[in-house]
Structure 1
Amino acid sequence: MRSLARVLGTLNFTDVDRTPVFFEHSGFVARSAGISIEKYLTDVDILVAVNLETVKKFRTDIISVCLDSCVEAEALGSKVVYSNTAYPNIPTPLITDWHQLDRLTVPDPWSSGRMPLMLKAARAVVEKDAGEHFIVGQVLGPVTIASQIYGIENLIYLIVDDPEGFMELLKFSTQVTELYCAALRETGIHAIMLHDPTASPDVLSKSVFADLIAPQLKGMIQRIREQQETYLWLQIIGNTSSVLPLIADFNLEMVTIDSPVKLSDAFHCLENKVVIGNINPMLFRNASFDQLSSTLKHIYEQQRKFGYVIGTGCETPLDACEKNITYFLELIGRIKCLC
């Protein structure tokens, strides 16, 4: 069974030959090959080659075409500091008062910053992969975009001092996400991942998520759904156990759960959604082979028959150990002998 058919079968909650596997390894692969992270994130040919090499090298089922968490803010005008060995960062907020939003314009994904590079890479990966794998393009969610242009500390104070101002900021960043999603869908990918780590209850609390963030995310997802046919995938890191019932009400097909979330809780709350997780990616950096074996056996003891993808809650560390990754994937192939 081809990887694409395997994932599509999983999305339809039907029998497949094995559980699909998804790990975000491309940054690690680039660094292991001696490619600077800055070059990897700014050269479309290298980005495409690394994505295709990653899925070939590790024989996983999903290709994730993504850059970093600064793309949208950079397109809006934020200064980004690049590194050869780490992902870029934004040293200073673009705005310090939400009223300054009137200075900003929602960027055109086809001409702003590195957004066009991402779109070109996604289209090239779709063309070169030729239907072998399920391809997802990653877009930052509105809460994380807001934190990137406003600063996370400033954002927390804004929520407390001026929740209406926070909502105005969130409405603007939501437009950025929606327009980027519309452009990305034109590249021919199968799914869009809405990656919104700052929305985590570990960062902004359950009550903030429930009262302010969830209604905005739900409305945005519904608008994206109405405008285009695509699978939608939500990834929020950290312990999202308390907000899974809210996420269950979102009109999307796939949800990543991070390592603090129990698989049983996710399966109970997300009965009609594909669950991806809940492996801690740090295991690929410093775990023993026995720990890796124990982790996978525990997953297989809990997993449900349909609607599950073995995966991590976020990206593999850039300094991961390739032997750990390879061993873990080999275990997946022979897990029945270990149980």
Structure 2
Amino acid sequence: MNSLERLIAAVRFEATDRTPFMPQLFGLAARAASVAIDAYARGGSLMAECQLRQQARLGNDAVFAFSDLGVETEALGSRLKYYEHQYPEVVDYALAPGDDPARLNLPDPTRDGRMPGVLDALGALRRALGDTVMVAGGVAGPMTLAAQLYGAEKALFLTMDDRPRFEAALDLAVAVASRYGAAQLAAGAHMVMVLDPMASPAVMPPEFFRELLLPRLQRLMAGLRAAGTLTTWLNIAGPTAPILPHYAEIGAGIATFDYYVEPATARSLLPRTCLLGNLTSLDFLAPSPQALTTQARRLIAAFADRGGYILSSGCEIPAEAGEGNVAALAQLVTGG
């Protein structure tokens, strides 16, 4: 059973030869290869090379053509500042609070901003790995892209002060993610994850999620399935227990659950959805992997009778994490 087969079997609740291991390695792949984050974030062959090195070293079951959540907003007109040792940040947002999102043109993934570099990275990864390892792309979810267009605080005020304008921004975000995600699949991705950290109940009340985001995430997931994704992955960190029951309705094939949510709770809320998590991301910064390996053993045992589980962190593994911590987990799972 190869990595791609193992992950798809887990999504389908079929037997696997071992627990799938899909650590969220983005910037850490760059740092491990002594590559500056700003160079890595521009995608292309360098991003692919860093991911391939990590996969060859660790034997993880997926590689990612993804770096940060600024790609879409930059393609829509926001200005970003780049750094050698951290992800880029928006310094000039594409929209002022009074701006109509309709004034923005839908970006062309083959031409605009850093999107073509990501497509190039996906193509390089798929050519190198074929159908042996999951090649994953990523798009910003509706709430996160809306926040990246206006700024997080201004976007949250718009939910109360100008609901129609905010909903127009969400609809634009769905259109952007659908088009960009389809382009990623055409370029070589097996799967596109939807990252929507701003949709977390730590930021947005669960009732807003149900009213504003659920129907839009449904449309986005349906569009990705129509474009050929092997499965869908909704990746939201934080205290997500109040919104987890909606993931099946949304159409998520894989659901991230963070350390805030106990495995038994996640199992009960999503009994027939493949769960991914919930290793504590900050523990990857610890000088010893002991806490992580203890968590991993507990998680593997918690899902042994169920299947439908992928070992991973509940959020991205920090770029500053110790490589030895990830390697210890890989050895635990793969026996390598």
Partner of 2:91: 91
4+ aligned runs moved over 6 Å, structure 1? none
Partner of 2:231: 231
Contact 1:67-1:118 at 8 Å conserved across structures: no
Q: Residues of 2 paired with 1:26 and 1:209: CA distance?
A: 27
Contact 1:248-1:269 at 8 Å conserved across structures: no
Partner of 1:337: none
Compute the displacement of 1:43 (Å). 4.9
Q: Could you report, residue by residue, the CA deviation over 1:114-148 in whole angstroms, capped at 9, with x for unpaired residues?
A: 10111111011001112221111111111111100
Matched to 1:179, the amino acid is R
What is the SS of the residue equivalent to 1:54?
Answer: helix
Q: Residues of 1 paired with 2:150 and 2:260: CA distance?
A: 28
Count residues with an aligned counterpart.
334
- How big is the alpha-carbon RMSD for the aligned residues of Structure 1 and Structure 2? 1.7
Contact 2:185-2:227 at 8 Å conserved across structures: no
* Structure of greater relative contact order (alpha carbons < 8 Å, 6+ residues apart): 2
Which structure 1 residue ranges, 5 or more long, are not aligned? 335-339
Percent identity at matched positions?
30
Partner of 2:210: 210
Q: For 1:92-171, what aligned pairs fall within 5 Å after superposition? A: 92-171=92-171
1:309 pairs with 2:283? no
Q: Residues of 2 paired with 1:69 and 1:18: CA distance?
A: 32
Q: Residues of 2 paired with 1:13 and 1:287: CA distance?
A: 35
Contact 1:98-1:168 at 8 Å conserved across structures: no
Compute the displacement of 1:8 (Å). 2.0
Q: Residues of 2 paired with 1:162 and 1:231: CA distance?
A: 35
Contact 1:142-1:176 at 8 Å conserved across structures: no
Compute the displacement of 1:287 (Å). 5.7
Q: Residues of 1 paired with 2:299 and 2:183: CA distance?
A: 36
Q: What's the TM-score, normalizing by structure 2?
A: 0.94
Q: Residues of 2 paired with 1:225 and 1:308: CA distance?
A: 21
Contact 2:100-2:165 at 8 Å conserved across structures: no
1:54 pairs with 2:54? yes
Q: Residues of 2 paired with 1:66 and 1:74: CA distance?
A: 15
Partner of 2:193: 193
Partner of 2:332: 331
Compute the displacement of 1:262 (Å). 1.5
Matched to 2:314, the amino acid is G
Compute the displacement of 1:179 (Å). 0.8
What is the SS of the residue equivalent to 1:194?
Answer: strand
Q: Residues of 2 paired with 1:213 and 1:156: CA distance?
A: 13
Compute the displacement of 1:152 (Å). 0.2
What is the SS of the residue equivalent to 1:212?
Answer: helix
Partner of 1:180: 180
What is the SS of the residue equivalent to 2:237?
Answer: coil
Summarize the Cα distance change of 1:181–1:29 in structure 2 as closer, same or farther, 3 Å threshold: closer
Q: Residues of 2 paired with 1:201 and 1:233: CA distance?
A: 18
Contact 2:19-2:300 at 8 Å conserved across structures: no
Q: Residues of 1 paired with 2:334 and 2:228: CA distance?
A: 36
Matched to 1:325, the amino acid is V
Q: Could you report, residue by residue, the CA deviation over 1:221-252 in whole angstroms, capped at 9, with x for unpaired residues?
A: 22333454532111011111011111121123
Contact 1:75-1:114 at 8 Å conserved across structures: yes
Q: Residues of 1 paired with 2:297 and 2:181: CA distance?
A: 37
Matched to 1:312, the amino acid is S
Q: Residues of 1 paired with 2:17 and 2:99: CA distance?
A: 54
Partner of 1:244: 244
Compute the displacement of 1:98 (Å). 5.0
